[in-house]
Amino acid sequence: MPFEISNISINERVQMLNGYYRHHAAIPVLRHALNDPIVGDVALVSSFGAESVVLLQMVSLIKPETPVLFIDTEMLFPETLEYQVELSEKLGLKDVRVIKADETAIAERDPSGTLHKSNPDACCALRKSEPLEKALSGFDAWITGRKRFQSGQRAELTLFENEDNKRIKINPLSHWRKGDVRDYIVDNDLPRHPLVAKNYLSLGCAPCTSPVKDGENERSGRWRGVEKTECGIHFDNGTTARADAE
């Protein structure tokens, strides 16, 4: 009888996967995740940001036909859009999908393009969380580049997570340190995002991203001056990013 992941709950699958691969390094974890029937159909979600090249390169070597979902909020830095095209071609990624918010929703909820000033959570919901949720609806799991060192909210990351009993989140780099990322990029001679040289160490939308100062956490440049640390796609229930979307 063929293996059916629908016969096993997401929570059980996550526990099994964390048990199987908890001592594995990032590349073996990713290789298994992209081929293990317990995981199912997988997409990589990438911002093509400061450290995205690590996972993108790994996926290109292991399974270049893996769907790569890139959310274009239409507020990104021009350098990010250029980097996305150039890097996709250089790595030979075969299925990069550019995801955007519905034009009607933008016209109704952010016609002036200034929602990020009055309600950044609602803006993130409109331009990131909701389009991504729609794009992920056909997948059983998705790969993220989150790491424990990035912030307190990510300090307890596991390799596999249950996302609201909808699908599995895969965090192959969860145990990596900042130096591991830097060394991997250097050792593999990977192209950096052009804004990294200007101290943009965590890149999002242009209006809500600033350079990081010496001694600051790398995500300090995101939503500076606002009590917000996540865009919403990584909250367990999404409520923070969606609560005031209307």
Using CB atoms within 10 Å of the CB of residue 180, give its burial: 0 to 12 exposed, 13 to 18 middle, 19+ buried. middle
- 14's CB contacts (< 8 A; 6+ apart) are 158, 160, 161, 162, 168
CA distance 24 to 22: 6
Instruction: State whether residue 188 is helix, strand or coil.
Output: coil
Structure tokens at 139: 């997948």
CB 21 within 8 A of CB 159: yes
> Is 124 a residue of the active site?
no
Using CB atoms within 10 Å of the CB of residue 215, give its burial: 0 to 12 exposed, 13 to 18 middle, 19+ buried. exposed
CA distance 17 to 28: 12
- Candidates 112, 75, 120; CA nearest to 245 is 120
Q: Which residues of 4-23 are buried (b: 16+ CB within 10 A; e: fewer)?
A: ebeeeebeebbeebeeebee
Q: What's CA 99's distance to the chain center, in Å?
A: 13
Pairing of strands 68-71, 96-99: parallel
Residue in this structure with the two tokens 């093509």, named with its chain if needed: 48
Catalytic residue among 123, 205, 208, 231: 231
Task: Give the residue numbers annotated as catalytic, written as ranges.
Answer: 231
